[in-house]
Copies of this chain bind each other. A is one copy, B any other.
Amino acid sequence: LLSLEPISGRARVQVKNPYLDTMEEDILYHFSLGTKTHNLPEMFGDIKFVCVGGSSNRMKAFAQFIHQELEMPGNPEEVSDICEATDRYCMYKVGPVLSMSHGMGVPSISIMLHELIKLLHHAQCRDVVLFRLGTSGGVGLAPGTVVVTDKAVDYSFLAQFEQVVLGKVVTRSTELDEEVANELLQCSSELQNFPTVIGNTLCTHDFYEGQGRLDGALCSFSHEDKLEYLRKAYEAGVRNIEMESSVFAAMCRICGLKGTLINPWSFFL
């Protein structure tokens, strides 16, 4: 069992905030957890894999699936939401695996990532790998194809994330860990029925106009304009479109977390 493997000593999860260690208490507001009210090392110290996705129902189902796969004692149906005191996110822990929801869009997952990274830091976790398992729209692929993200790109197909810090725009890289992506591709090749590619993931800030959908409340472009944009995206290496990858990649990189996105083609564009 993964949780019984020895801690290797390398790669403790890093925060990049000099104030944190001087604070008397750190409250993870949106998780309803805190360093004074909860023993975070005891609760979370053995975590090795964090799997996140938008939908709370799906992340509960994923926790139950992992419970069965790892042959954990007890009833998988009875996994309990560690964040049940709040409705912002849900969180399930199954052995060394944490399964969490993050809602939809960059701001929503950004709040979750700040508090998750602080949680892993306070819990003294080491060698954690972070995965986003979500829905996405495929670009030029057969339906059902799984895309493992190489890098997250913005609407101009650049591997960057623009973060506003106190009114100033800071540009951060969104290149992800190659090793993790390659390992996942290797795993998929050993399985039947999981056509998998490594590609760039376009991160948009809305579902309709940014992704070229013709069925939003607002639409000012033609079907041809849409196809032209998707063609350009494909030529730039984009294989799928979703709404969280850019800040996920940027924060993994800054905090020394290995991570990637594994998103099946699940939406028609």
Contacts and interface: CB of A to CB of B under 8 A. Distances in A.
Interface of A: 15-20, 23, 26-27, 30, 54-57, 87-88, 103-108, 110-111, 113-115, 117-118, 121, 155-156, 163-167, 169, 204-210, 212, 214-221, 225-226, 229, 232, 243, 247, 251, 254-255
A115 B26 CA distance: 38
B217 A19 contact: no
Contacts of A87: 55-57
**10 closest A-B pairs by CB:** A105-B107, A17-B219, A117-B217, A166-B229, A114-B216, A114-B217, A165-B209, A110-B206, A104-B108, A57-B87
A144 B30 CA distance: 20
Given A167-B156, A205-B107, A206-B110, A17 B217 contact: yes
B106 A107 contact: yes
Nearest to A156: B167
Identify which of A20, A55, A165 gathers the most chain B CB atoms within 10 Å of its CB.
A165
A210 B23 contact: no
B17 A218 contact: yes
A22 to B, nearest CB: 10
30 contacts: A16-B219, A16-B220, A17-B214, A19-B214, A19-B215, A19-B219, A23-B215, A54-B88, A55-B88, A57-B87, A88-B104, A104-B107, A105-B107, A105-B110, A105-B111, A106-B205, A106-B206, A107-B205, A111-B206, A111-B207, A114-B206, A114-B208, A117-B217, A118-B216, A163-B206, A163-B209, A165-B210, A165-B221, A166-B210, A217-B255
A221 B18 CA distance: 10
Nearest to A115: B217
Given A164-B209, A229-B166, A106 B105 contact: yes
